[in-house]
């Protein structure tokens, strides 16, 4: 074990030597330092998030006031996609699709894992850097290029991909089916292929680093829950993203090489097409084999972050540390055998459907354990409401509220009527959208001092949080009602159906909250960028936290610790331990005589 | 000018906030206030805001339930739909209770255990008994929900009765077509290669085979003429040659149908309708669902029925309507009300308007309506055809494609 501690040290010296002649390009652009790469991921993800959020406001305008003219739409989308300020119906579908794709993959997968796995894995396990700095750098550059391509696809003449973020063929395979299945879809596929490469490079690196570069004394059972969450997330990604890659590759072949993996018996645009024997259901299986673990790839890092933040700010150990690890692993495992619940109505054999009902509802058990453990952690705590803490508690609420409606959707008999309606939209936006973005915000507020050496303004943080949770629930809660009324998702307007007359004022309410919540993000953006340059200078351990990242100096250095890497003696949750003077005991403090670990 | 003003306003706003932030910061420095030291006032305010938020959140939920409750899950009009709704209610009862309890505990504890200097948090790392309790209780509740849910699911997906009415729902961009088996009770076979504007579902009869082959041959001749008549860029030549190849392959495949010994006369009496279709009350309806282009989904919310329409594959769903359109109009006090079939899988630009009305009526009314519909090929025409060799396809009638989109 001591060898692993000393070897990186020698490494660190060579780095320091290197430090002096570092150019702007090698420091800020082609950096191999995990801390810089994490900042690059974060800032890219913030820009992607702004774009995706704006797209959602655009299509929400159409949903609340169908067919009405908005100058802002014309301003951003131009005469082609919003003539006279009225959103084009093809563009509507493109907006919905790209909003979903960017949010799920670029913000909540690349942005969340990329930022916090990169920042925290070496710092919290006591490593000088990632196992491979070069792969780490490549991971970011693949991410950036794929982001640029995805955004560029919005400017294609025939429109960005518009078949929904799940891009089911044949709709996505045939340009005859919709104009945006042409070049727009090609760019989508290219972008996703690069994204998957980025995600795999990152994931492999995270796994290797966690398994091999832990400092002396950092047993797996002493890892902070953040690291456990990032670890299982990376494993999920490495096992499931290649399957999406295969699905994408076969789709590319169907589109351009005349194969028929997904196509059969199609008559479109006045022509009968040649392909026979393929099945779109194959694509659905492949897609959701990634698609469901993806939900947890998005959610687990957020849960990891909130575990850390809640324990620190409750000044209390996380309740049931081992149960939390167990439930992360159980969720990770189960997430691979539940994908069929997205396909109850696909024509799949009903018996197979019932197997997926069973496995899916099982996931509720580890999820319930997690929720109760969070609440028990707060119980009899001594809560300090930092903005990060507010977001973490908000996360627990959205995780529970959104998770409960999942029980309805997992029940195939109930799913018949709510499948693909706004009920689903409400469910996954609350349980994975809001929860994951809350986790991300919590992470940013909490580790901002570590990232930038300065503090974010807490008052602005409070305003941001309260407006976001009110706006977030205000947007997605009414959607349950819209969905139960039977309103399908991805509809351009509902004016052609008398049965949906009742949902109009709800749609107006939703859009109003959406604009409100979007405006609230301006507070965050201002606070974030302003604090990078002007925020109060941070102290070494502002939150009085136990984990190792707070033992590093405020100024970033290569190799993280100027001297030897600290040795770990205890688990990370010794908050308010009886018999201790302070209410926290960092992990590198040796156990006193007769002290039990926990 | 307006844009310029707007930009100016935004810049001024940003500068304004920046100045306020700066003042705040200078004052914090003067008071030696650290950003990470959350003041007792801040903690107290946030704690109270949790309570306020909880009340507002629960109030919002209850208000929505009261205001929009009657809109949720429209009255179920099928036999299994009532069972599904009961399952829904049991689920709601459990889930809403848990929703209130868990959110209440979370917000209440957040309020109650706000930071105080005089108190130390309770060091409580784990407790196996507690953890066992909240593993076992959800497990029992879920076991119950799984068993109950699967019971209903199996009933819903059960084979329809033998005498079920057979109806095909056929999807294309962007409308639905319904087909009944006709007096012989047999749904005629169909194949996408036979689709023409006269034969939108691609039904297989001797006549449609001949018509389609003739059409393809004409296409080949036209393409060949085009190739011979003018000098074209290489790419286009290749494309046209591919088309000829494709047409030839299609002709070969179509002619193969004839070699099979299948009876292609069952399609003659099939009844094809658009715009609306009728169903008899209290009789099982077995739907077979098809698509010719992309994935659609046949969604009939009032009947708690949904199934995807997948090209190249027939999917099935069946239900028994139990409330007639007229009775439902009385129940809802809405003379205009109609059951509808919608598309619920994104299928292109006009996905949002792909609907068909469903009329549920008594068996007699239904039989009367059905007898008024024209069959695929009029009986007279069949006789006439048997007399002569001509392949005449009925020009008028329900076959002429009316693509509203």
DSSP string, A41-107: HHHHHHHHHHHHHHHHHHHHHHHHSTT---HHHHHHHHHHHSGGGPPPHHHHHHHHHHHHHIIIIII
| C-alpha A525 chain-centroid distance | 18
Distance CA A507, CA A525 (A): 27
- Per-residue pLDDT tens for B291-316? 999 999 999 999 999 999 999 999 99
Distances (CA, A) of A305 to A379, A381, A430, A444: 19, 18, 17, 10
> How high does pLDDT run on average in chain B?
89
Letter string b/e over residues A17-55, b meaning 16 or more CB atoms within 10 A of that residue's CB: eeeeeeeeeeeeeebbbbbbbbbbbbebbbebbbbbbeb
Would you say residue B145 lies in a domain? no
In a domain, B148, yes or no: no
Q: Which of B265, B264, B274 is nearest to B179 (CA)?
A: B274
Distance in angstroms (rounded) separating the CA atoms of residues A483 and A487: 5
Question: What stretch of H or E contains A534?
Answer: helix A504-534
Query: Are B261 and B281 within one domain?
Result: no
My answer on whether B214 and B336 are in the same domain is no
Contacts of residue A462 in chain B, CB cutoff 8 Å?
42, 46
Q: Which pLDDT value is given to residue B389?
A: 45
Distance CA A406, CA B92 (A): 12
Return d(Cα A171, Cα A518) in angstroms, integer: 31
Closest chain A residue to the Cα of B74, Cα to Cα: A485
Predicted pLDDT at A119 = 96
- The average confidence (pLDDT) of chain A is 93
In whole angstroms, what is the distance from residue B205 CA to residue B301 CA?
A: 35
The pLDDT tens digits of the residues spanning A233-268 come to 999 999 999 999 999 999 999 999 989 999 999 999
Which residues, in sequence order, are CB contacts of A296 under 8 Å at separation 6+?
A: A233, A236, A331, A332, A335
- Report whether pLDDT(A443) > 60: yes
B261 and B284 housed in the same domain? no
What residues 287-316 of chain B have any CB closer than 8 A to a CB of chain A? 292-295, 297, 299, 301, 304-308, 310-313, 315
Instruction: Answer whether A319 touches B (CB < 8 Å).
Output: yes
Report the residue of A97, A411, A446 to disrupt the B interface, i.e. the one with the largest count of B CBs within 10 Å: A411
Rounded-to-integer distance, Cα A596 and Cα A115, Å: 35
pLDDT at residue A12 tops 90: no
**Higher pLDDT pick, A375 / B25:** A375
pLDDT band, residue B320 (cuts 50/70/90): very high
Q: Which residue in B has a C-alpha nearest to residue A75's C-alpha?
A: B3
* Whether residues B176 and B283 fall in one domain: yes
| The pLDDT value given to residue A597 | 81
Q: How far apart are CA B371 and CA B269, in angstroms?
A: 11
Q: Is B223 inside a domain boundary?
A: yes
Q: Judge whether B2 lies within some domain.
A: no
Residues of B in contact with A361 (CB under 8 A): 142, 145-146
pLDDT at B69 exceeding the cut of 90: no
Query: How much is the pLDDT for B231?
Result: 84
Q: Of the candidates B265, B290, B316, which is a domain's last residue?
A: B265
B253 and B285 co-located in one domain: no
Q: What is the pLDDT of residues A130-186, one digit of tens each?
A: 999 999 999 999 999 999 999 999 999 999 999 999 999 999 999 999 999 999 999
Whether the CB-CB separation of A493 and A67 falls below 8 Å is answered with yes
pLDDT at A23: 78
Closest CA to A59 of A98, A23, A28, A33: A98
B237 in a structural domain: yes
Chain B nearest C-alpha distance from A137 (Å):
32
Task: Report which secondary-structure segment, H or E, holds A481.
Answer: helix A458-484
Domain tally, chain A = 1
The pLDDT tens digits of the residues spanning B1-56 come to: 677 887 888 888 888 888 887 787 788 777 778 888 999 999 999 999 999 999 99
d(CA A163, CA A169): 9
Q: Is the pLDDT of residue A367 over 70?
A: yes
Q: What is the mean pLDDT of residues B260-283?
A: 91
* pLDDT for A17 beyond 90: no
Is B293 in Cβ contact with A268 (below 8 Å)?
yes
Q: What pLDDT score was predicted for residue A20?
A: 52
- Chain A hits for B138, CB-CB cut-off 8 Å, are 364-365, 368-369
In-domain check, residue B50? no
Non-local (6+) Cβ contacts of A488 within 8 A are: A420, A421, A422, B299, B342, B343, B344
pLDDT band for B402, please (50, 70, 90 cuts). Answer: very low
Of the candidates B352, B401, B306, the residue with the CA atom closest to the CA atom of residue A267: B401
Q: How far apart are CA A406 and CA A430, in angstroms?
A: 10
> What pLDDT does A28 receive?
79
Report percent pLDDT > 90 for chain A. Answer: 90
Maximum alpha-carbon separation in chain B: 107
B210 plus B283 within the same structural domain:
no
Shortest distance, CA B94 to any CA of chain A (angstroms):
10
Residues 6+ positions from B40 with CB-CB distance below 8 Å: B115, B117
Q: What is the pLDDT of residue B394?
A: 43
Q: CB-based burial of residue A132 (10 Å sphere; 0-12 exposed, 13-18 middle, 19+ buried)?
A: middle
Distance to chain B for A427, nearest Cα, Å: 13
> Is A509 within 8 Å of chain B by CB?
no
Window from A172-176, B176-180, B258-262 with minimum mean pLDDT: B258-262
| Domains of chain B: total | 2
More confident residue, B372 or A6: B372
- Residue B9 sits at the chain A interface (C-beta within 8 Å): no
> What pLDDT does B247 receive?
93
| Residues of chain A with C-beta less than 8 angstroms from the C-beta of B59 | none
Asked whether residue B320 is assigned to any structural domain, the reply reads yes
Mutate to test the interface with A, among B69, B294, B336 (most CBs of A within 10 A): B294
Identify whether residues B181 and B250 lie together within a single domain: no
Rg, chain A, Cα only = 24
Share of chain B above pLDDT 70, in %: 93
Instruction: Name chain B contacts of A457, Cβ cutoff 8 Å.
Output: 21, 24-25, 35
Give domain status of residue A183, yes or no. yes
CA A543, CA A55: separation in Å to the nearest integer?
Answer: 36
* Model confidence band, residue B194 (pLDDT cutoffs 50, 70, 90): very high
Residue carrying structure tokens 């040795």: A567
C-alpha torsion A528→A534→A535→A539, nearest 10: 130
3-state DSSP call for residue B68?
helix
- The answer to whether the CB atoms of A397 and B103 lie below 8 A apart is yes
Tell me what pLDDT residue B388 has.
55
**Helix residue spans in A257-386 (DSSP H):** 280-314, 321-334, 350-378
pLDDT at position B397 over 50 = no
Q: Please, which pLDDT band fits residue A525 given cuts at 50, 70 and 90? A: very high
Secondary-structure percent of chain B, ordered helix, strand, coil, rounded to 5: 55, 15, 30
Using a pLDDT cut of 90, give the percent of chain B over it: 70
Spatial separation of the C-alpha atoms in residues A552 and A570, rounded to whole Å = 18
Residues B149 and A21: their CA atoms lie apart, in Å, by 67
Cβ contact A380–B294 (<8 Å) = no
Picking from B265, B294, B312, the residue at the C-terminal end of a domain is B265
Are A138 and A227 contacting, i.e. CB atoms less than 8 angstroms apart?
Answer: no
Domain check: are B172 and B312 in the same one?
A: yes
CATH code, domain carrying A41: 1.20.210.10
As a whole number of angstroms, the distance between CA A140 and CA A195 comes to 10
Phi, psi of A526 (to 5 degrees): -60, -50
Q: Is A17 helix (H, G, I), strand (E, B) or coil?
A: helix
Are B241 and B219 in a shared domain? yes
Rounded CA separation A316/B256 (Å): 76
Touching check for A76 and chain B: CB below 8 Å? no
CA distance B96 to A405: 9
Structure token digits, residue B327: 């009775």
> Given pLDDT bands bounded at 50, 70 and 90, which one contains residue B385?
low
- CATH number (domain holding residue B356): 2.60.40.420
DSSP of A355-407, one letter per residue? HHHHHHHHHHHHHHHHHHHHHHHHTT--B---HHHHHHHHHHHHHHHHHHHHH
| Contact criterion met (CB below 8 Å) for A479 and A423 | yes
In terms of domains, do B176 and B275 share one? yes
What is the C-alpha separation between A549 and B208, in angstroms, rounded? Answer: 75
Average pLDDT rounded to a whole number, residues A566-584: 92
Q: Could you give the 3-state DSSP secondary structure of residue B393?
A: coil
pLDDT digits (tens, 9 = 90+) for A383-439: 999 999 999 999 999 999 999 999 999 999 999 999 999 999 999 999 999 999 999
Rounded CA separation A597/B213 (Å): 83
- In chain B, whose CA is at the least distance from the CA of A280? B310
Q: Is A90 on the interface with B (CB under 8 A)?
A: yes
Instruction: Please indicate whether, in this complex, the C-beta atoms of A354 and B153 are within 8 angstroms of each other.
Output: yes
Q: How far is A11 from chain B (nearest CA, A)?
A: 34
Q: What is the mean pLDDT of residues B260-279?
A: 90
Q: Are B207 and B172 in the same domain?
A: no
Rounded to an integer, what distance in angstroms lies between the CA atom of residue A101 and that of residue A106? 7
Report the alpha-carbon distance of residue A371 to residue A379 in Å, rounded: 13
Q: Up-side HSE of residue B226: CA atoms within 13 Å toward CB? A: 16
Domain with B260 in it: 189-265
Whether B371 is covered by a domain: the verdict is yes
Distance CA A44, CA A58 (A): 22
User: Is B370 found in the same domain as B319?
Assistant: yes
What is the span of the domain harbouring residue A384?
34-551
DSSP-assigned letters across all residues of B144-177: HHHHHHHHHHHHHTSPPPTTPEEEEEEEETTEEE
Paired tokens of A363 = 């996931």
Residue A12 lies in a domain: no
Q: Is residue A288 part of a domain?
A: yes
* pLDDT tens digits for range A92-135: 999 999 999 999 999 999 999 999 999 999 999 999 999 999 99
């Amino acid at each position: 074990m001591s060898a692993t501690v000393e070897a990186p040290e020698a490494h660190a010296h060579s780095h320091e030597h290197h430090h002096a002649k570092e150019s702007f390009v090698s420091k800020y652009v082609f950096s191999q330092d995990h801390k810089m790469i994490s900042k690059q991921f974060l800032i890219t993800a913030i820009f992607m998030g702004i774009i995706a959020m704006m797209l959602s406001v655009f299509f929400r305008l159409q949903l609340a006031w169908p067919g009405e003219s908005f100058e802002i739409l014309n301003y951003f989308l131009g005469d082609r996609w919003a003539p006279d300020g009225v959103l084009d119906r093809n563009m509507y579908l493109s907006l919905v699709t790209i909003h979903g794709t960017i949010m799920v993959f670029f913000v909540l997968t690349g942005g969340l894992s990329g930022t916090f796995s990169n920042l925290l894995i070496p710092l919290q396990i006591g490593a000088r850097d990632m196992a491979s700095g070069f792969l780490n750098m490549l991971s970011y550059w693949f991410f950036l290029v794929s982001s640029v391509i995805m955004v560029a696809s919005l400017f294609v003449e025939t429109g960005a991909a518009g078949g929904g973020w799940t891009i089911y063929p044949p709709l996505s395979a045939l340009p005859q089916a919709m104009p945006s299945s042409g070049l727009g879809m090609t760019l989508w596929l290219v972008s996703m292929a690069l994204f998957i490469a980025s995600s795999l490079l990152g994931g492999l690196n995270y796994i290797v680093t966690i398994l091999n570069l832990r400092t002396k004394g950092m047993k797996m059972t002493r890892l902070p829950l953040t690291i456990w969450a990032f670890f299982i997330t990376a494993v999920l990604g490495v096992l499931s993203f290649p399957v999406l890659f295969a699905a994408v590759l076969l789709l590319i072949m169907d589109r351009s090489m005349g194969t028929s993996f997904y196509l059969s018996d199609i008559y479109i645009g006045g022509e009968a097409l040649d392909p026979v024997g393929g099945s779109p259901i194959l694509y659905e299986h492949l897609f959701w084999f990634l698609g469901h673990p993806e939900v947890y790839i998005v959610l687990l890092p957020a849960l990891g972050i909130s575990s850390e933040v809640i324990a620190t700010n409750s000044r209390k150990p996380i309740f049931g540390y081992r149960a939390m690890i167990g439930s992360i692993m159980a969720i990770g495992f189960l997430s691979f055998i539940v994908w069929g619940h997205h396909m109850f109505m696909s024509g799949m054999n009903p018996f197979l459907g019932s197997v997926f009902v069973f496995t899916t509802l099982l996931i509720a058990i580890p999820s319930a354990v997690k929720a109760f453990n969070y609440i028990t952690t707060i119980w009899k705590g001594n809560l300090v409401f930092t903005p990060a803490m507010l977001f973490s508690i908000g996360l627990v609420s959205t995780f529970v509220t959104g998770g409960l409606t999942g029980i309805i959707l997992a029940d195939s008999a109930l799913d018949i009527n709510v499948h693909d309606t706004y009920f689903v939209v409400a469910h996954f936006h609350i349980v994975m959208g809001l929860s994951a973005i809350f986790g991300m915000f919590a992470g940013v507020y909490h580790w901002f001092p570590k990232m930038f050496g300065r503090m974010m303004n807490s008052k602005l943080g409070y305003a941001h949080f309260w407006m976001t949770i009110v706006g977030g629930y205000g947007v997605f809660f009414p959607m349950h009602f819209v969905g139960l009324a039977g309103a399908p998702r991805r509809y351009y307007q509902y004016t052609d159906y008398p049965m949906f007359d009742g949902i109009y004022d709800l749609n107006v309410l939703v859009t109003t909250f959406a604009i409100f919540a979007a405006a609230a993000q301006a507070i965050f953006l201002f606070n974030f960028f302003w604090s990078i340059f002007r925020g109060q200078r941070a102290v070494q351990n502002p939150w009085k936290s136990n984990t190792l990242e707070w033992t590093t100096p405020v100024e970033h250095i290569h190799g993280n610790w100027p001297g030897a890497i600290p040795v770990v003696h205890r688990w990370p949750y010794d908050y308010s331990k009886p018999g201790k003077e302070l209410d926290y005991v960092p992990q590198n403090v040796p156990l006193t005589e007769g002290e039990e670990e926990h | 000018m307006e844009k310029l003003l707007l930009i100016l306003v935004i810049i001024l706003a940003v500068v304004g906030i920046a100045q306020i932030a700066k003042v705040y910061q200078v004052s914090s420095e003067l008071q030696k206030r650290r950003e990470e030291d959350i003041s007792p006032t801040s903690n107290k305010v946030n704690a109270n805001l949790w309570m306020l938020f909880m009340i507002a959140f629960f109030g919002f939920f209850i208000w929505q339930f009261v205001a929009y409750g009657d809109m949720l899950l429209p009255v179920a009009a099928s036999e299994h739909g009532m069972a599904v709704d009961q399952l829904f209610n049991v689920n709601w009862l459990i889930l809403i209770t848990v929703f209130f309890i868990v959110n209440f505990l979370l917000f209440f504890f957040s309020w109650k255990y706000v930071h105080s200097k005089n108190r130390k948090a309770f060091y409580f790392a784990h407790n196996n008994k507690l953890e066992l309790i909240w593993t076992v209780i959800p497990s029992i509740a879920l076991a119950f929900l799984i068993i109950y849910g699967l019971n209903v699911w199996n009933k819903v997906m059960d084979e329809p009765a033998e005498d079920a009415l057979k109806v095909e729902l056929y999807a294309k961009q962007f409308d639905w077509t319904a087909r009944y088996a006709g007096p012989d009770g047999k749904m005629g076979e169909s194949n996408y290669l036979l689709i023409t504007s006269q034969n939108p579902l691609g039904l297989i009869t001797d006549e449609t085979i001949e018509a389609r082959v003739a059409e393809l041959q004409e296409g080949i001749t036209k393409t060949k003429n085009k190739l011979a008549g003018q000098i074209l860029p290489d790419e286009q030549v290749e494309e046209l040659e591919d088309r000829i190849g494709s047409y030839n392959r299609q002709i070969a495949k179509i002619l193969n149908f004839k070699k099979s010994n299948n009876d292609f006369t069952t399609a003659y009496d099939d009844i094809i309708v658009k715009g609306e279709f009728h169903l008899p009350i209290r009789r099982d309806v077995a739907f077979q669902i098809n698509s010719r282009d992309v994935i659609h989904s046949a969604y009939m919310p009032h009947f708690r029925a949904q199934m995807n329409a997948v090209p190249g594959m027939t999917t099935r769903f069946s239900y028994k309507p139990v409330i007639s359109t007229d009775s439902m109009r009385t129940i809802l006090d809405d003379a205009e009300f109609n059951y509808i079939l919608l598309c619920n899988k994104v299928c292109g630009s006009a996905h949002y308007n792909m609907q068909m009305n469903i009329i549920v009526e008594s068996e007699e009314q239904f039989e009367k309506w059905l007898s008024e519909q024209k069959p695929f090929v009029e009986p007279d025409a069949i006789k006439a055809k048997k007399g002569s060799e001509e392949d005449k396809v009925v020009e008028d009638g329900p076959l002429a494609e009316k693509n509203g989109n």
